[in-house]
Amino acid sequence: MQDITDRLRAELDERPAPPPAFAIAITVAAGRRAVRRRRVATGGLVLASALALATGWAATTGGVGHGREDGAPVAGTGHHGYRSVTDLNDLVPVRYEGDGALVVKEGWSITERIDDPLTGSSLWNEPALVVDSAAVVARRGDLVRWVILWQLDESSGGARSETEPGRSFPDLSAWVDYEVEVLTTSSTTRLVTLEDEGELRARDGVRVVGASEPLSALEGGVAVRLRVDGDTVWGVAHRQDDGSTLLRVALDYPTPEAPGTLAGFVDHLEAGR
């Protein structure tokens, strides 16, 4: 026993001391991926399939704050400490107030929350930095919404909502990782894999609706149409040098001028190059 103790002590003594400081930029970037989860209540979730998108909301009150850190109740009507309002819809039943507090539609409750998944980042098509963000599980009876929402300033921001979550991502945290990846880079490695022989495979819960042959105009990329939960996702899959598959998501398709078909998507891509 003493011999084992001496060995452990010797090994510990030989370990290098931890660095005295950290790099702020690296820490912020890592923090976006390892977001802190806060559970407000417990209980099972009724999970199904579909994705809904809501963007371009405008706040009606001034001032920008940061997400609540202490979990203290917001004065109001209960709902696990969140004030309720009546001017929200069932698609996105959560929003930011001007002071940075979240409010929830009357009759809904927030049962899980992740703070700051996008804070300090810029969106793929927006140079301004996100000043505040959160992701939540909102519930009303058997209805469940996963929502990620953000503020760019006191009067603008956006949100994405999963209306029947569960098929493609097992929990809120996994879905948030995917959403942050797409919102900040318009690409993801989480949906499909191009095998060595060229076969396109979807991860569990993702369905390939259609795929083109490798296209020389897209540097050998494969145009794909996917179903992720209930949402249609269009993108171009490329096999990387490390063997992973990067899907560049086309968040600007379909358009009023371009039909929502695989052939129309290929035409759209080739016209843009």
Instruction: Confirm whether pTM is higher than 0.85.
Output: no
Whether the per-residue pLDDT at 228 is higher than 70: the answer is yes
The pLDDT score that the predictor gives to residue 27 is: 33
DSSP for 113-159 reads EEE-SSTT-EETTEEEEP-EEEEEEEEETTEEEEEEEEEEETTEEEE
Whether the Cβ atoms of residue 112 and residue 37 lie closer than 8 Å to each other: yes
- Same domain membership, residue 193 and residue 181: no
Q: Which of 159, 157, 117 is nearest to 134 (CA)?
A: 117
- How far apart are the C-alpha atoms of 147 and 112, rounded to whole Å? 11
- Same domain membership, residue 96 and residue 62: yes
135-166 pLDDT, tens per residue? 999 999 999 999 999 999 877 889 999 987 88
- Same domain membership, residue 197 and residue 181: no
Whether the Cβ atoms of residue 93 and residue 104 lie closer than 8 Å to each other: yes
- Same domain membership, residue 174 and residue 56: yes
Q: Which of 221, 226, 224, 212 is nearest to 273 (CA)?
A: 221
For 36, 180, 211, the CA distances from 208, given in Å and listed in that order, are: 32, 22, 7
Whether the Cβ atoms of residue 233 and residue 253 lie closer than 8 Å to each other: no
- How far apart are the C-alpha atoms of 191 and 110, rounded to whole Å? 28
Q: What is the mean pLDDT of residues 102-123?
A: 95
Residue 22 lies in a domain: no
For 30, 70, 98, 106, the CA distances from 63, given in Å and listed in that order, are: 27, 20, 5, 24
- Split at pLDDT 50, 70, 90, the class of 273 is low
Identify the domain boundary among 185, 216, 248.
185
**Torsion-angle region of 123 (φ positive above 0: left; ψ -120 to 50: alpha; else: beta):** beta
- Same domain membership, residue 227 and residue 175: no
- Same domain membership, residue 66 and residue 157: yes
Residue 27 lies in a domain: no
- How far apart are the C-alpha atoms of 208 and 225, rounded to whole Å? 6
- How far apart are the C-alpha atoms of 32 and 117, rounded to whole Å? 5
- Helix, strand, coil proportions of the chain in percent (round to 5)? 20, 35, 45
- Same domain membership, residue 179 and residue 49: yes
Determine the angle formed by the axes of helices 172-185 and 24-33, rounding to 10 degrees. Answer: 130
Residue 67 lies in a domain: yes
Helix (H) / strand (E) containing 239 = strand 231-239
Residue 11 lies in a domain: no
- Same domain membership, residue 208 and residue 78: no
Residue 20 lies in a domain: no
- How far apart are the C-alpha atoms of 229 and 96, rounded to whole Å? 26
Residue 240 lies in a domain: yes
176-212 pLDDT, tens per residue? 999 999 999 999 999 999 988 778 999 888 999 999 9
Residue type, 125: N
- What's the domain count of the chain? 2
Q: Mean pLDDT for the chain?
A: 75
Q: Identify the domain containing residue 248 by its residue range.
A: 188-271
Identify the domain boundary among 157, 185, 213.
185
- Same domain membership, residue 52 and residue 160: yes
- How far apart are the C-alpha atoms of 252 and 255, rounded to whole Å? 7
- Burial label for 226, CB within 10 Å (0-12, 13-18, 19+), is buried
- Same domain membership, residue 170 and residue 80: yes
Residue 17 lies in a domain: no
- Same domain membership, residue 240 and residue 159: no
Identify the domain boundary among 156, 185, 214.
185
- Same domain membership, residue 117 and residue 63: yes
